[in-house]
Structure 1
Amino acid sequence: MNISLEDSICVFEKDINNDVLLTWSFPSIDDGIRQVVLNRTSLTQEKISLSFNFSKYKNFWIYIYTSYISAQESHKETFPSNLKRVVAYSICLVRNNFNPEKYGALAQIMSNVYQSTGDCSKLLECHLRVINRGQFDIGPLGKFQESDYDVRRSYLATSIKDIITLFGDEIILIWSAMIMKKRIVVYSEKMSSLLKVIRAFPLLVSHRQNWNILRPYVTMSDLELKDLTTTGIYCAGFTDPSIKSHEDYYDILVDLSSKDVTVSSHAKDQFILGSFHRDMLKYFNAALEDEEINDQDVIKGLVKKTKELLTKLETLKEEKDGKQQITQESLDARKLPNGMAAFIMSIVNAEGLNG
């Protein structure tokens, strides 16, 4: 059986002396992945985030479930002896696909198993059963059935109407950044709010069906920032407020704490709103006002309006070098409204219309 890095599981523990160690992994993970996973567990921080989080590094999705061990629990006679000096631990799963609900449920059950037994071989048993059979049942500690977690439900876990309501008219800036494939940074004080909101952004360009653009949670470590910049285009989440002063990492900044969307100084000429933006904003507002329109209706409407836009852009193609394409020169010749040419060229590049 060949187990790859994309199917890794590891356990980090924090003890009563505040030391944090990788106590077990299968298969072994390299130093880079280990440091990134450790950063994202929050175990090295003074305040531990006792919750589930998901993130991405390189091509790997990282799912982390962190639990606290109370003094009362650890003093029970039946409590595993190897965990009696442990105050918190994280079960970390490395995978190659997006499905927070699936891997969150799996990590939580594994956390139950670990706190109950302290036995990593039991984690390995669950791990291998999922890989080979897609299921396991360990009685009162939990039952997992892979087929229960359709990834399409994970795509729709956050209501797009809630996102539109949250940002009001500024949703048009987020939509513009997504359709033009610009760099988006989302900041929130709370991890839960960050992950809930950022995962919905790809729904704004649902015709692409691409959640790989997400980097839901990134720390300010040099290793992670270097990885972020090498991806080129991204929608990245941070809980460190210092990211707000680093305009070189984003084209727009979405601040969930203040509900403000800020366009960076170097990208302002690409975010000049025109007639199509106003039309799209009317669509967003109309969708909110109509209670009979659900999230899937909104998404279908967005796909339809995007296809209408792309069809219009096809009519702007002119022959150059033996093929039909849209050029900056041809757009300038049409004397389009201020900012429209830049918007069109960004979409042409994002959608590969000249390919």
Structure 2
Amino acid sequence: MEALSFVSIIEKDKHDTITTSWVYPGFPAEYNQVLINRGQFQGTIDPPLIFSRYAGLWHYTYTFNVGSESLDIMDTSLIRFTTVASVTVGSKHFYPERYFPIVKLLAQMYLDEKGRPLKILQSVLNLASEGTITFRDQEVTPPSFDEEKKSLLKTPLTDVTDMFGVQSILLWHALLTKRSVLVKSDNLGKLLNLIRAFPLFVFHRQDWTMLRPFITAHDTELQDLSFRKRTSADDVEGGAGDDDEDEKSSSSSSSSKKSKGKKGRHSNETRHTGVVCGTCDSAVEALGVWDVIADMETGKVTVREASEDRDDDSEVPLVGPVFEMTPFHKEAAAIVKKSQSQKELVTGLTNLTVKLTERVSEIKEELEGKPITPNNVKELLGAASMATCRFLVDLYKAETSN
């Protein structure tokens, strides 16, 4: 049995006024704005079913034209002036194949009951207690959670590698080192189908919470991406403190770095890490904060260059990505090139990643208390290139971060 986190109904009337007419049991005010932003209330509704994530919850939305405007003065239905409506359910689970049928049933109830939410409320409560929904006098059982793991593999990773070719190695590197990735497309349906495969690049983490499959450029949504200012304090302490703490210590840290004759790394730069976001909004790309941008329309992957030299004595990964090719990247490229199936590709990349993570753990032990920096790793490994040492350090930091 499962209690949905929330259910909401949002309506647009003939005056283009958009309001949330009903929500159970409730959600924060900012969540309401996010659902309106993503609800496709302006322009074409395509696709009608979407999913995304905000504030720790997945939401599944069905938006549809109502077209019920009535000229009958005796018509008392709640939707007589409604032109577009959306029904959304929230859950802690990423499982579109379960929640899409649920939200479609609730939307049909909305129409059957002419906007009155009582039947929807009864169905939500029945789902929580009995695991079924009563629809038009029939008991409907949504897809079981026994099939949830299969849903994670719905879109094969080969669809991504087929689209981006050898550039897929840049995506593998970005996800492995927890960089920020933006996937953009003109087609929302195709975007949502492809982006759900991206966590398969790092299947060993079993983490789909990195995804924000569909975002807009609204401030409320961007705040959910953990934007923060990075200052020179991060270079010295290697921490992930809040903005105020960074600003308090930046001046003393900066003078310390100057005395050592080293360059700071992206001081006061705003960024976020470890997310894969999807958008059809050019304003999101224009923010200029993305480490990697994958363009589905052109099949190209663009990497944002680091604006300053890397400090190889620091434990903190460079803010701007440095995607230097190493023997590990060549090995990953070979796996991508030869794999003929989803299983072969995911298994190959996972085995390589596990081998890498085990190696960096060994390096940490062999350093015997020394900080794991590129220079220290270089001193330990000797023949390894600096590019390899930097990659291993960035991987270690990604694997040990929250």
TM-score range, shorter chain: 0.7 to 0.9
1:316 Cα shift?
2.9
Instruction: List 4+ stretches of structure 1 deviating above 6 A.
Output: 73-76
Structure 1: how far apart are the matches of 2:60 and 2:348?
32
Provide the TM-score with structure 1 as the length reference.
0.87
Number of residue pairs aligned between Structure 1 and Structure 2: 340
Does structure 1 conserve the Cα–Cα contact (< 8 Å) formed by 2:179 and 2:321? no
Deviations 1:195-232 (A, max 9, x none): 11111000111010000111111110011112213464
What is the aligned counterpart of 2:337 among 279, 285, 305? 285
Indicate the RMSD between aligned Cα atoms, in angstroms. 2.7
1:254 and 2:254 equivalent? no
- 1:260-298 deviation digits (Å, cap 9, x = unpaired): 10001226762011211111111111003xxxxx32332
Aligned counterparts of 2:106 and 2:76: Cα–Cα separation in 1:
15
Give the letter aligned to residue 37 of structure 2. Answer: N
The answer to whether residue 337 in structure 2 is matched with residue 340 in structure 1 is no
Q: 1:92 aligns with which of 84, 88, 95?
A: 88
Return the offset for 1:49.
3.9
| 1:151-300 equivalences in 2 (<5 Å) | 151-230=148-227, 232-248=273-289, 250-266=290-306, 270-288=322-340, 294-300=341-347
Partner of 1:291: none
Is the CA contact 2:305–2:322 (under 8 Å) kept in the aligned structure 1?
no
SS at match of 2:161: helix
After alignment, is 209-218 or 261-270 more displaced?
261-270
Aligned to 2:11, which of 9, 13, 16? 13
1:305 maps onto 2:301 in alignment: no
Which of 5, 16, 39 matches 1:41? 39
Q: Which runs of 5+ in 2 are unaligned?
A: 228-271, 307-318
Among 85, 93, 107, the alignment partner of 1:111 is: 107
Check the 8 A contact 1:101/1:149 in 2, yes or no: no
Q: Please list every run of 5 or more consecutive structure 1 residues that lacks an aligned counterpart in the other structure.
A: 289-293
Aligned match of 2:239: none
1:103 to partner: Cα distance? 1.0
Amino acid at match of 1:90: S
Q: 1:195 and 1:153, CA in 2 relative to 1: closer, same or farther beyond 3 A?
A: same
Give 1:106 shift.
0.6
Q: 1 or 2, which has the higher helix percentage? A: 1
Q: How far did 1:139 drift? A: 4.1
How far apart are residue 97 of structure 1 and its match?
Answer: 1.8
Give yes or no for contact 1:80–1:116 (8 Å, CA) kept in 2. no
Q: Tell me how far apart the structure 1 counterparts of residues 170 and 76 of structure 2 sit (CA, whole Å).
A: 52
Q: Deviations over 1:75-130 (max 9, x none)?
A: 99xx9822222111000112222111111111011111111112201111111111
Q: TM-score when scaled to structure 2?
A: 0.78
* Alpha-carbon distance, 1:308 to partner: 1.9
Mapped contact 1:318–1:326 kept (Cα < 8 A): no
Larger radius of gyration: 2
Q: d(CA) in 2 for partners of 1:48 and 1:165?
A: 28
The whole-number CA distance in structure 1 between the counterparts of 2:364 and 2:76 is 69
